[in-house]
Amino acid sequence: MPGYDPATGRRTRLRDAPVAVMPVRRPPGEGRQQVALHAARSPRRWRSLVAALLVVLLAILGVAWVRVGGALDDARAAAADRVAAIRAAERYALTLMAVDYRTVDRDVQRVLDSSMGQARAEYERDAERLKAATREHKAVQTGVVRAAGLVSMDAGRAGARVLVLADAVIRWEGTKTPPQERLNRWSMEVTKSRGAWWVSKLERVT
């Protein structure tokens, strides 16, 4: 409703009348509670973020560990194959040089049992002639490997080539012929089959 202003002598309308603004009083401690609530929420968010980052980091480390572990296992397997290939060539060389007229049948069989492919076929072809000559002359041969080294290995580690240097001594019982020393240089191809290494090809190196 309109009012009267004594100072001006004019009537005032309701919308022109001054409006008193009353301050809103908050309950004691409300502001502190809001600050505390915000402060409580912030650490929780940080903890969640840190936990998520840790999960990601652990996943990355796990993948890296698997890859590094796989590479180390492959390197160890390759090293083991290299050693096994050399050892197979060395054993074959010793078996070739170990011939005694009293045990020649077993000696020849050991050579056949440690070879395959071309090496076995060629030795088997001459086996009977070797037995006869060994018995006839009462020959006894022994030997020692002086050195052996890996020349190459297939990418799939199924085959390798090894050079072997060995000395052999042959004597003939019942004769005055002095023992004879022989120097042997072989290039051997070895093949991995059924989890083992076998000599598959033999060549003399001059």
For 80, the enclosing helix (H) or strand (E) is: helix 30-97
Cα dist from 89 to 49, 51, 140, 162, 185, whole Å: 60, 57, 22, 7, 12
Question: What is the DSSP secondary-structure string of 124-177?
Answer: HHHHHHHHHHHHHTTEEEEEEEEEEEEEEE-TTSSEEEEEEEEEEEEEETTS-P
**Confidence (pLDDT) at 45:** 73
Residue with tokens 């929420």: 41
| Predicted TM-score (pTM) of this structure | 0.66
For 45-78, how does the pLDDT look when each residue is reduced to its tens digit (9 = 90+)?
A: 777 777 777 777 777 766 666 665 555 778 888 8
Quote the tokens at residue 81: 């194959």
Residue 6 predicted with pLDDT over 60: no
Residue 31 predicted with pLDDT over 60: no
